[in-house]
Amino acid sequence: MVVNSIKIKSKTIEKFSLSSAEEEYLQIYHEYFVLCWDWTDICRYHNCSKSKVSKAIHWVIDNKLKIPSKYLIKGAIDAITVRLKRSKELYLHETNKKRYRDNMFIISLMKEMREDEKTLYKLQEIYNEGIEDDSKLSTGQVLKLIQEASSEKRKNQEETKSDKLIDTTEDSENIENNKIS
């Protein structure tokens, strides 16, 4: 990994450039964790041994903060895309049921899919702006963006749960009032 330092108004930005072997390590890591390929498929695709796959995964984990931001954003985009695909399959399976359909599950799944799509569009916008210059976003800033999106999603889920609790307490009060009268 080659480190280039750039000084901008009393701020030093380190720009990391990767060798071809390190880019292959990132690709192996991406295929293993994001695309969920089996290690034998990765070995066949890259024409390498299992030890190289293991070494690549360990190298990426050890150097995750030194990876250029465009690789992190691309990985996040692919991971969200895979999660959306699985969520859509679950949604279709649940909505195609003739009996015993769980409407609360469908509603929460739709909210989760909407939040994932918002996050996906934000990340795609950042990625498509052309992050050729890594000085625009640092690795920490990319991780912070992803963390903010996930905390926003958790906050929306908690609000949904509290709304359900309020609705059920109002319903029980209405039932009690009807019994009394």
pTM tops 0.85, yes or no: no
How many Å apart are CA 3 and CA 134, to the nearest integer?
A: 12
| For the chain, domain boundaries | 18-65, 68-181
Q: Is the pLDDT of residue 76 over 90?
A: no
pLDDT of residue 181: 52
Taking a C-beta distance cutoff of 8 angstroms, is the pair 142, 123 a contact?
no
Mean of all residue pLDDT scores within the chain: 78
Q: Is the pLDDT of residue 9 over 70?
A: no
Measuring CA to CA, how many Å separate 32 from each of 25, 148, 171? Answer: 11, 25, 48
pLDDT of residue 67: 82
Taking a C-beta distance cutoff of 8 angstroms, is the pair 157, 111 a contact?
yes
What percent of the chain shows pLDDT beyond 70? 69
Q: Looking at the DSSP assignment, which residues form a beta bridge with residue 5?
A: 14
Higher pLDDT, residue 147 or 32: 32
Question: Tens digit of pLDDT for each residue in 98-148?
Answer: 888 888 999 999 999 999 999 999 889 888 886 555 455 666 677 677 777
pLDDT of residue 126: 85
